[in-house]
Amino acid sequence: MMRLRREDPRVVGSFRLHRRLGAGGMGVVYLGSDRRGQRVALKVIRPDLAEDQEFRSRFAREVSAARRIRGGCTARLVAADLEAERPWFATQYVPGPSLHDKVAEEGPLTAAQIASIGAALSEGLVAVHEAGVVHRDLKPSNILLSPKGPRIIDFGIAWATGASTLTHVGTAVGSPGFLAPEQVRGAAVTPATDVFSLGATLAYAATADSPFGHGSSEVMLYRVVHEEPHLQGVPDALAPLVRACLAKDPEERPTTLQLSMRLKEIASREAHGMGEPRPPAQRARTERPTGRLAEGYADQRAERRTGGGVPTPPPQGPGQGQSHGGQGGKAPQSGPHSRPSSPRNTGSRGPGSTAGRTGGRPAPRTTGTGRRPSRPDPKLMRQRLIVFVVVTLIVALGIALAQKL
């Protein structure tokens, strides 16, 4: 806040002015209060605009539309005088820094903070658009972070849905870098126009910069229309949604209701430390053998489930080595679908075969089916041993008692 200057009024309507809150393209904003002590933000229109009858007529329609807005995310209109020498209007005073000042002083916000603020703003825009109003100048400096949540302020250039965005030919209304392409072209504004500005505002909250960089007004407006936004630094959870908001075609942008629901989901997930859900990883195709080796793989899987012995590998064709360590031909070659060989993987292959021998030791004894007999379950053996010992002790104790009797 700044002290009042010598040229500043001290009283406007029924409000006493105390401080300067800021100045913009339409006029100066003051902190004032009424007789009951209610504080307001009161904007007094610039003298040159006050002399423009076209502006006065439009301003009267905008104030009328602002009165219809009902929502907790906007600063409520308290009073206005459209017939004064310098028209003015007063809105509810919202304590707290602007989003612009917050990011400028403390740096980019977290994904959870951005999603939470964005969800509240989207919900507020739903109420604004239901009243038939488009803000047209949504930007970080027009969003106040109050203790009760973010508030949208400065509907000074808001306009009815479908109206042109040009005050005069070739002059766009709004702030470069946050304007929608249709505003730059002078086309009709729609609720999608505010969605674009909200996307640029969320990008600023994440990166402390406009998604279209810096430069003169002409350069910035050209980038908005012809270049893609720079979203490097925007959290992964938010980047796709922000990019959708910044689509050049208004029809491709999400609605404010869709935006509100999606941002609430992201805010909830980020607040609980949960990232974006990922699809289950696909198994590599080489995990299971194909072709002739598939039968042996299936037998091994079935044998492991039943607890039986290890099945023999599928028969090998002529020319494939069967001996280890260079005995009797080429050593077996491993391929992308082969499984490593071991003494347990080899069994009897018929009379006279040396495939089951390793280092001169006899191959493990197998059953008539070519499979090794299953080993007793160690856990079951321990249980049987305990039962045997307990029964033996009981019998011995019974015999001892019988002899005493």
Per-residue pLDDT of the chain (405 residues), as tens digits, is 899 999 999 999 999 999 999 887 788 999 999 999 999 999 999 999 888 888 888 778 778 877 878 776 888 889 999 999 999 999 989 999 999 999 999 999 999 999 999 999 999 999 889 888 888 889 999 999 999 999 998 765 555 444 434 333 334 455 789 999 999 999 999 999 999 999 999 999 999 999 999 999 999 999 999 999 999 999 999 999 999 999 999 999 999 999 999 999 999 999 887 655 444 444 334 344 444 444 454 455 455 545 544 444 444 444 444 434 444 444 444 444 444 444 444 444 444 444 444 444 454 455 444 555 556 677 788 888 888 888 888 888 888 888 877
Name the catalytic one among 34, 48, 52, 137: 137
* Stated pTM of the model: 0.63
**Residue 137 is a catalytic residue:** yes
- Candidates 226, 258, 213, 223; CA nearest to 240 is 258
